[in-house]
């Protein structure tokens, strides 16, 4: 799964770009750029992967 796909899935779970950015230590415009296919710095990409895993794990335990 790509970073862009992870961001789309987070959005489907109700996460705004601003909230994702805050949790990942970056800005909303950076998240927007990544959703449109732009590249991500390693640190931001790693933070998105970690957030995605955390959110999916929480969703599975809540279900």
pLDDT in the model for residue 63: 67
pLDDT, tens digit, 9 for 90 and up, residues 9-62? 999 999 999 999 999 999 999 999 999 999 999 999 999 999 999 999 988 887
Element (H, E) at 24: helix 17-24
Tokens of 24: 């990942």
Share of the chain above pLDDT 90, in %: 90
User: What are the φ/ψ torsions at residue 32 (nearest 5 degrees)?
Assistant: -55, -45
Query: Which domains are present in the chain?
Result: 3-62 (1.10.260)
Task: Give CA–CA dist 14/7, Å, rounded.
Answer: 11
Q: Which of 5, 53, 60, 11 lies closest to 21 in space, CA to CA? A: 11
Task: Give CA–CA dist 63/56, Å, rounded.
Answer: 11
pLDDT in the model for residue 51: 98
């Amino acid at each position: 799964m790509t970073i862009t796909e992870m961001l789309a899935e987070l959005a489907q779970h109700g996460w705004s770009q601003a909230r994702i950015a805050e949790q990942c230590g970056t800005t909303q415009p950076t998240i927007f750029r990544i959703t449109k296919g732009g590249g991500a710095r390693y640190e931001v990409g790693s933070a998105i992967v970690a957030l995605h895993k955390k959110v999916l794990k929480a969703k599975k335990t809540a279900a």
